[in-house]
Amino acid sequence: MNLKERKSINKSVNLIQDPSKPIITITMSKKQQQFQFRDAFILSWSLKDALGVAKNHPIPFVFGVCLVFFMAVEYTLFMIPPSSPPFDLGFVITKPIHRILDSEPGLNTILAGLNTVFVGMQTTYILWTWLVEGRTRATIAALFMFTCRGILGYCTQLPLPEGFLGSGVDFPVGNVSFFLFYSGHVAGSVIASLDMRRMGRAEMAWVFDTLNVLQMVRLLGTRGHYTIDLAVGVGAGMLFDSLAGKYEEKKKIGVVGHKV
């Protein structure tokens, strides 16, 4: 490739090299670009570059180590047979809480009632942002989230955990059936908390986050959800909040374009 074939020269940051030292990359048109193995990106690494990954990019490096570790775990563990209940580390950790709540039904009912109040707080805040403040993002996120939860919850109906401690005052009230995967309790709280932070209501968001953690501990202690239900609930809240934001941006662009 000679100089005449070069279309443009851009500065970019190499993931392997020190991000404070930009390198030069060459961009060519599709017709002119012909890949050759000697141009492979990895061949440009030096020993210093490879050793500098942990220093310059610690988070991806830790994820890489975790990838190798969990590959070893996955390929060597004994799988749970169909006749046995699922293994859940959260259930193992919360065994003392489960024993207490199992022996104290009154305490279990009180905590279930308080948890239902917290769910009401989430619902009230999300509806408030729409009906009173005129902001729709949190409400749209909740609609996205609960719709997806309904689809996934019906497609894969997990067995009720062994030792489940139900309560007539727990949400949904009345000991009715519910989807285990994923936790709408947790996802709804995350959606409300993210909206609070966007609006500068940091103290209120911290209160919701703290109550959400206590809620997750209780749900594990009562065997009301598997650990994976709660973890995915956190991710679902973040995901659908982001999708709701993108939806609003797209609608705003469409309105502006229509006016023009």
- For residues 61 and 57, give the distance between their C-alpha atoms in angstroms, rounded to a whole number: 6
CB atoms within 10 A of CB 198: 15
**Closest Cα partner for 41 from 17, 10, 9?**
17
CB atoms within 10 A of CB 182: 25
Question: Residue 201 class from Cβ within 10 Å (0-12 exposed, 13-18 middle, 19+ buried)?
Answer: middle
User: In sequence order, which residues have a C-beta less than 8 Å from that of residue 48 and are 6 or more positions away?
Assistant: none
Task: Please indicate whether residue 225 is annotated as part of the active site.
Answer: yes
252 and 126 Cβ atoms separated by less than 8 Å: no
Task: Please indicate whether residue 39 is annotated as part of the active site.
Answer: no
Catalytic residue among 88, 185, 195, 241: 185
Catalytic residue among 88, 98, 170, 225: 225
- For residues 46 and 241, give the distance between their C-alpha atoms in angstroms, rounded to a whole number: 42
Q: What is the DSSP letter of 199?
A: T
User: In sequence order, which residues have a C-beta less than 8 Å from that of residue 189 and are 6 or more positions away?
Assistant: 118, 122, 208, 209, 211, 212, 215, 237
Task: Please indicate whether residue 57 is annotated as part of the active site.
Answer: no
Catalytic residue among 88, 195, 229, 241: 229
Give catalytic residue positions.
Answer: 185, 225, 229
